[in-house]
């Protein structure tokens, strides 16, 4: 199985501090992967690098069958390549309606001119309906998304990610601030998503990760400490000392 995303030997430092240190990582086209690690392990920086927000000092990142290099691409270009990212804090456009938010995310031409003359076709509106239905916002389409509850915003953001139809989904702490039932829903959604695309979940919550039932990568001080099933890594002596040592 060839990898969808192949990250090899990347390093980045901020003012002398090595946030990522010779990190390598790869994920297949339909795989669920959890990344865990203590604070400051470089989880967020790793996501920043993959999505083009931060430029690595060295290393390579390739994506897709043709293994195009993501280095030097803008964030927008990388997103158009098919990498979606969900932030920790729900970021939806609160001044606009749920429908507008979804239309914005819908896969379509992104250049200013195309967008200017773009009109939603019936199929686009139907797709928005379906997506909204999936996340339980079907009856909220005309509401301003700023009026939604925190949880609803989370769901709206997930629906927007789905609308983008990414091939790789990066999800930052999806379980934060969710009720137990919402967590369950999220878990099953992530698992079902990973059947057709690659999903990387960054999470603190061990219970949540256990429920995802997938391969786990442990980051520590900007490098991969261990990789394997959750049971495997939790038995790893180094992982235990890092986690217990930090409390």
Partner 1 sequence: MSRSFFAKHPSVLIFIAVLAIFTIMVTLASDAYGFGWLSTSYIKTLGKTLSLCLVALAMDLIWGYAGILTLGHMAFFALGGYLIGMWLMYARTEEIVVQALAHGGLPATPEEISQGIASQIFGVVGTSDLPAIWSFAYSLPLQLALALAVPGLLALVFGWLAFRSRVTGVYLSILTQAMTLALALYLYQNDSGLRGNNGLSGLQNLPGLTETSQDLVSIWFFWASALALGLGYLTLAWAVSGKFGSVIRAIRDDEARVRFLGYPVELYKLFLFTLTALIAALAGVLYYPQAGIINPAELAPIASIYLAVWVAIGGRGRLYGAVIGAAFVSLLSSVFTSGRLPNIPLGPVWLSWVDWWLVLLGAAFVAVTLFAPKGISGVFDRYQRIAPPDRKGAPLGPADGSLQKQEAQA
Partner 2 sequence: MDGRAAGQAAKVDLTALNPNAGVRGVIAAALVPFTLSNPDPARRAEALTSIARDPTAETLAPLRASINREPDPAIKAQKTRLERFLTLRFDPDPAARVAAIDALGADTALDVRAALNPLIATTLVAAASPPDGNIARTLRLGRDIGETAAYELLVSAQLAPARLTLEDQRVALIANIADGKVVGVPVADLNSQAARDLVYTALEEAGKVPTAATDDEARAALASHGFYEVFLEPDVTVTAAAHAAMDRIQANVAVMQAADLGLDALSLAAIYFLAAIGLAITFGVMGVINMAHGEFITIGAYTGFVVQLFVPDYTLSILIALPLAFAVTFAAGVAMERLVIRHLYKRPLETLLATFGISIALQQILKNVFGTQARPLTAPGWLDGALTFNDVVSISYIRIAIFVLALLFLCSFLYLMKRTRLGLEVRAVTQNPAMAASMGINPDRINMLTFGLGSGIAGVAGVAIGLYAKVTSEMGADYIVQSFMTVVVGGVGNVWGALAGASMIGGLQKLIEFLNPANTLAAQTYMILFIILFIQVRPRGIIALRGRAAGD
Residues that bind partner 1 (CB under 8 A): 51, 53, 74-77, 79-80, 84-85, 87, 91, 93-96, 100, 103-105, 110-113, 115-116, 118-120, 144, 146-147, 150, 160, 164
Q: Give bridge partners of residue 34 from the DSSP assignment.
A: 201, 216
CB of 239 to partner 2, least distance (A): 26
Could you give the angle at which helices 150-164 and 180-193 cross, rounded to 10 degrees?
Answer: 0
CB-nearer residue toward partner 2: 14 or 87: 14
What residue 14 binds from partner 1, partner 2, none (CB within 5 to 8 A, per partner kind)?
partner 2
CB-nearer residue toward partner 1: 105 or 239: 105
Q: Which of 146, 135, 43, 38 is nearest to 88 (CA)?
A: 43
CB of 51 to partner 2, least distance (A): 14
Contact between residue 170 and residue 47 where contact means Cβ atoms under 8 Å apart: yes
Structure token pair of residue 54: 């931060």
Contact between residue 208 and residue 187 where contact means Cβ atoms under 8 Å apart: yes
Q: Which of 226, 206, 227 is nearest to 215 (CA)?
A: 227
CB of 48 to partner 2, least distance (A): 9
CB of 15 to partner 2, least distance (A): 5
What residue 119 binds from partner 1, partner 2, none (CB within 5 to 8 A, per partner kind)?
partner 1
CB of 80 to partner 1, least distance (A): 4
Contact between residue 22 and residue 11 where contact means Cβ atoms under 8 Å apart: yes
Map residue 124 onto helix, strand or coil. Answer: helix
CB of 223 to partner 2, least distance (A): 18
Distance CA 42, CA 76 (A): 22
For residue 63, what are the contacts with CB-CB under 8 A and spacing of at least 6?
4, 5, 6, 70, 78, 81, 82, 83, 168
Contact between residue 203 and residue 210 where contact means Cβ atoms under 8 Å apart: no
What residue 103 binds from partner 1, partner 2, none (CB within 5 to 8 A, per partner kind)?
partner 1
CB-nearer residue toward partner 2: 19 or 194: 19
CB-nearer residue toward partner 2: 11 or 97: 11
What residue 164 binds from partner 2, partner 1, none (CB within 5 to 8 A, per partner kind)?
partner 1
Binding of partner 2 by 14 (CB under 8 A):
yes
Q: Give bridge partners of residue 217 from the DSSP assignment.
A: 35, 227
CB-nearer residue toward partner 1: 95 or 184: 95
Site for partner 2 in 17-36 (CB under 8 A): 17, 19
Contact between residue 239 and residue 226 where contact means Cβ atoms under 8 Å apart: yes
Distance CA 131, CA 126 (A): 9
Binding of partner 2 by 87 (CB under 8 A):
no
Binding residues for partner 2, per CB under 8 A? 14-15, 17, 19
């Amino acid at each position: 199985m060839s990898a969808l995303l192949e990250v090899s030997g990347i390093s980045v430092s901020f003012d002398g501090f090595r946030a990522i240190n010779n990190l390598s990582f790869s994920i297949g086209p339909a795989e669920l992967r959890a990344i865990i690690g203590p604070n400051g392990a470089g989880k967020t920086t790793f996501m920043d690098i993959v999505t083009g927000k931060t430029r690595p000092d060295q290393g390579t990142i390739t994506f897709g069958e043709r293994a195009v290099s993501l280095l030097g691409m803008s964030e927008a270009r990388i997103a158009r390549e098919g990498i979606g990212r969900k932030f920790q804090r729900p970021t939806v456009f609160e001044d606009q309606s749920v429908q507008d938010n979804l239309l914005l995310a819908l896969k379509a031409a992104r250049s200013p001119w195309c967008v200017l003359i773009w009109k939603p076709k019936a199929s686009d509106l139907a797709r928005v309906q379906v997506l909204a239905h999936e996340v339980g916002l079907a009856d909220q389409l005309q509401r301003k998304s700023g009026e939604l509850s925190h949880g609803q915003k989370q769901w709206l953001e997930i629906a927007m990610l789905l609308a983008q139809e990414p091939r790789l989904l990066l999800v930052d702490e999806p379980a934060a601030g969710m009720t137990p039932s919402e967590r369950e829903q999220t878990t099953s959604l992530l698992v079902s998503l990973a059947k057709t695309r690659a999903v990387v979940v960054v999470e603190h919550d061990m219970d949540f990760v256990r429920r995802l039932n997938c391969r786990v990568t442990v980051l520590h001080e900007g490098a991969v400490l261990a990789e394997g099933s959750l049971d495997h890594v939790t038995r790893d002596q180094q992982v235990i000392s890092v986690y217990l040592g930090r409390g």
